Structure 1
């Protein structure tokens, strides 16, 4: 595929899920400046339309948007059909749609926990399955957004960690399956990035305090621009892996030691937090205590939970 080898996305059709906010919206804006043609897919139609307008004027052949729930096959198939009708091909996919729910396993809202798995893991699988024939045709590239949470598994984040670890494993298997077809597969591992999701998690009355107690690199929140720059460059280069920021790659080298480190740190925090979250649930309800940010609320509405 001409262009990607020179680290350029100019003229390439890039489909981005979860494009209404956060990393997806930021990467869309950046790739538009680089001359890519953008297919924006996600929930929150008003937000998608805003991002599309920032990427190109109304009626511009360089950008289009499609409202779709990545957990629904019919939604994705309709969106991809629309992309093909508008652009004629798909050269790259950023499988970025993701939500979070916070809570301890014994008390988190059941539907909120399972919705994270459905969106963050099964949504990635469905996005890949629907777009893969077109990536094979274009000998394209797909970047799956996993997380540093796939490497470091903190209490109160079990659903998200499980889903993102699954994305990493899925991506590694997929890469070996499609290399001979000319398709390259990358996996992105962002840590805490300043997005609506992370900022709302930090505002949680219980789990925000746990996060604040985690000092050092793993507890730092990085500007959105850090993720946008590295992920956009990764798409242009058809990168095998994108660490956001780069120190996340070093965490992989000590992955086997991390659970014990997390457990040791948790001893001082979790007992009191366990009691506090039960009080929060009694006051606000399981679902309200569990949902994190507007993206999770949109996903809950789409699933009929709100």
Structure 2
């Protein structure tokens, strides 16, 4: 799409979790449509590599999205260097798997802090800008927002939380001409998902999902759909599109998942002991290395 055709041309867009994966792919797509992109993440060198690969005006800030003061400083610098944001994407997220009873409390808490509290800190940092620019806030959620799964309690709880947060924010700011959207995405080809597949129980549980629900989608394709939703200021976007139908049956999903788990988890436990994964993927390991909690 030519830059002049996009309403994002010349606008400032902020993307959290932009050092890799979906965040980096969205930054590339936003820059390709003419936006000035502010990349936020934990890995300064990787962020710089993404920044240097993008066309146009792009800058990066190494900051923890759960750090209110750090995010406030980054926000002030972004305004000074790129102008007030018109688009903010709360994408930063981590995940950890394993039985809840044996989970490390610090790791479990960190997943909720990054995914839920980090999204709220991101919104608080930039909401004043979005009021001024009549902008748009996109919250990246998940299939896990609709239907929870065993062995992923922290991730599912946090993604259900960001869905509720975004709905509340949507209702609160719509009269001020700020759009709020929720992106429901399924399995995407990121290092987090690839790392999860290295653990037998997580791989097997995904394998027992219906074929469309276990398909892994290219990250560039997912990013393109989400950036198009930003251009159109969608209240929700589903990737893949069939995921919208899960909303119609979400009340029936917990008993189905429970029945499947009651049958499959004992079998899987005899094949390989369940174990805590720690934070998944290179992004998770980078977050753990830079955070103030014990390394498990």
For the aligned pair, the TM-score class normalised by the smaller chain equals over 0.9
Which residue number in structure 1 is paired with residue 35 of structure 2?
Answer: 36
Gaps of 5+ in 2: none
With normalisation by structure 1, the TM-score equals 0.91
Which residue number in structure 2 is paired with residue 159 of structure 1?
Answer: 154
Q: Matched residues in 1 for 2:268 and 2:64: separation?
A: 33
Q: Matched residues in 1 for 2:215 and 2:29: separation?
A: 24
Gaps of 5+ in 1: none
Shift of 1:274: 4.7
Shift of 1:203: 1.1
Which residue number in structure 2 is paired with residue 198 of structure 1?
Answer: 193
Matched length = 292
Which residue number in structure 2 is paired with residue 8 of structure 1?
Answer: 7
Matched, 1:80 2:68: no
Which residue number in structure 1 is paired with residue 110 of structure 2?
Answer: 115
Range that drifts further, 83-92 or 119-128: 83-92
Q: Matched residues in 2 for 1:147 and 1:120: separation?
A: 11
Shift of 1:226: 2.5
Q: Matched residues in 1 for 2:270 and 2:236: separation?
A: 39
CA contact (8 A) 2:84 2:129 kept: yes
Shift of 1:205: 3.6
Which residue number in structure 1 is paired with residue 48 of structure 2?
Answer: 49
Which residue number in structure 2 is paired with residue 270 of structure 1?
Answer: 265
Shift of 1:180: 1.3
Q: Matched residues in 2 for 1:176 and 1:140: separation?
A: 15
Range that drifts further, 263-272 or 67-76: 263-272
- Identify if the C-alpha distance between structure 1 residues 265 and 198 changes in structure 2 by more than 3 Å, giving closer, same or farther: same
Which residue number in structure 2 is paired with residue 293 of structure 1?
Answer: 281
Which ranges of 4 or more aligned residues in structure 1 deviate by more than 6 Å?
A: none
Q: Matched residues in 2 for 1:225 and 1:39: separation?
A: 19
SS at match of 2:263: coil
Aligned counterparts, 1:231-270, within 5 A: 231-270=226-265
Q: Matched residues in 1 for 2:111 and 2:158: separation?
A: 7
Q: Matched residues in 2 for 1:290 and 1:103: separation?
A: 8
SS at match of 2:65: coil
Shift of 1:210: 2.5
Once the two structures are superposed, what CA deviation does each residue of 1:149-206 show, in whole Å capped at 9, x if it has no partner? Answer: 1112111111111101110101111011111111110000111000011111111243
- Identify if the C-alpha distance between structure 1 residues 276 and 131 changes in structure 2 by more than 3 Å, giving closer, same or farther: farther
With normalisation by structure 2, the TM-score equals 0.94
Shift of 1:290: 2.7
Q: Matched residues in 1 for 2:235 and 2:274: separation?
A: 42
Matched, 1:24 2:23: yes
Q: Matched residues in 1 for 2:60 and 2:271: separation?
A: 42
Shift of 1:225: 2.3
CA contact (8 A) 1:197 1:294 kept: yes
Q: CA RMSD in A?
A: 1.8
Q: Matched residues in 2 for 1:235 and 1:299: separation?
A: 27
Q: Matched residues in 2 for 1:280 and 1:45: separation?
A: 34
